[in-house]
A and B are shown apart, each in its own frame.
Chain A
Amino acid sequence: MPGTTDQVSDHLLVASFKDEKLREASFTQLVRKYQERLYWHIRRMVVEHEDANDILQNVFIKVWKNLDDFREESNLYTWLYRIGTNEALTWIDQQKRRKSISLSDNEDIFSERLQAQKDFDPNKIEWKLQQAIQTLPEKQRIVFNLRYYDEMPYEDMSGVLGTSVGALKASYHHAVKKVQAFITGD
Chain B
Amino acid sequence: MNRGNEIREELKNMGSILADMPCAMPYSVPEGFFENFTGSVQATIKYLNSAEKVPEWGRTMPYTIPNGYFNQLTGKIVAKAIADGDATELTKNTPFKVPAGYFETLPAQMLAAAKAAEPVTKKTRVIPLKSYTIFREVKWAAAAVFVLGICFGSYRIFNSRQANAEKMLASVSSNDIQDYVQHNYRLDADRIVTNKDISNLKLDNKDIIQYLNETGWD
Residue of A whose beta carbon sits closest to that of B3: A151
B26 touches A124 (CB 8 A): yes
Q: Mark A166-177, 1 if CB is under 8 A from B, else 0.
A: 000000010011
Which residues of A are in contact with B by a Cβ distance under 8 Å? Answer: 1, 24, 27-28, 31-32, 35-36, 39-40, 43-44, 47, 49, 53, 56-57, 60-61, 64, 117-120, 124-127, 129-130, 147-149, 151, 173, 176-177, 179-180, 183-184
Interface size class of B (residues with CB under 8 A): 20 to 34
A172 to chain B, nearest CB (A): 8
Nearest chain B residue, comparing its CB with the CB of A179: B18
In contact, A24 and B42 (Cβ under 8 angstroms) = yes
Contact A32 B38 (CB under 8 A): yes
User: Which residues 88-135 of B sit at the A interface, judged by CB distance below 8 A?
Assistant: none
From the candidates A40, A60, A147, name the one contacting B41 in the complex (CB within 8 A).
A60
Report which of A35, A47, A173 forms a contact with B34, defined as CB distance below 8 A: A35
**Is the CB–CB distance between B25 and A117 below 8 Å?**
no
- B14 touching A176 by the CB < 8 A rule? yes
Which of B23, B28, B30, B45 has the most CB atoms of chain A within a 10 A radius of its CB? B45
Determine if A61 and B28 form an interchain contact, defined as CB atoms under 8 angstroms apart.
Answer: no
Quick check: A130 and B41 within 8 Å, CB to CB? no
Known A-B contacts A32-B38, A57-B44, A61-B41; A126 and B24 likewise in contact (beta carbons under 8 Å): yes
Please tell me if B155 contacts chain A, counting CB pairs below 8 Å.
no
Q: Which residues of A contact B22 (CB under 8 A)?
A: 125-126
Q: How many A-B residue pairs lie within 8 Å, measured between CB atoms? A: 83
Say whether B23 contacts A149, CB under 8 Å: yes
User: Are A57 and B40 in contact (CB-based, < 8 A)?
Assistant: yes
Beyond the given A35-B34, A57-B40, A117-B28, please list 14 additional residue pairs across the A-B interface where CB-CB is below 8 A.
Answer: A1-B3, A31-B37, A31-B38, A31-B41, A49-B28, A53-B37, A60-B41, A61-B45, A118-B28, A125-B21, A147-B7, A148-B7, A148-B23, A184-B17
* Residue B16 interfacial (CB < 8 Å): yes
13 contacts between A and B (CB under 8 A): A27-B42, A35-B37, A36-B34, A40-B25, A56-B37, A57-B41, A60-B41, A117-B27, A117-B28, A119-B26, A119-B28, A125-B22, A180-B17
B21 nearest CB neighbor, chain A only: A125
Shortest distance between the CB of B44 and any CB in chain A (Å): 6
Q: DSSP class of B's interface residues: helix, strand, loop or mixed?
A: helix
Top 7 A-B pairs, shortest CB-CB distance:
A126-B26, A31-B38, A151-B3, A60-B41, A176-B16, A118-B28, A151-B7
Do B30 and A49 touch (CB < 8 A)? Answer: yes
Contacts of B56 in A (CB 8 A): none
User: Which residue of chain A lies nearest to B37 when distances are taken between CB atoms in the complex?
Assistant: A35
> CB distance A183 to B25 under 8 Å?
no
Q: Which residue of A lies closest to B6 (CB)?
A: A151
Q: Which B residues are CB-close (under 8 A) to A31?
A: 37-38, 41-42
C-alpha spacing A35/B25, complex, angstroms: 16
Q: Which residues of the other chain, A, contact B34 by a CB distance below 8 angstroms?
A: 35-36, 39
CB of A127 within 8 A of CB of B41, answer no
CA distance A125 to B23 in the complex (A): 10
Residue of B at shortest CB range from A44? B25
Nearest CB in chain A to that of B42: its residue: A28
Within 8 A of A (CB), among B1-59: 3-4, 6-7, 11, 14, 16-18, 21-30, 33-34, 37-38, 40-42, 44-45, 48
Question: In the complex where A24-B42, A39-B34 touch, is A176 in contact with B4 (Cβ < 8 A)?
Answer: no
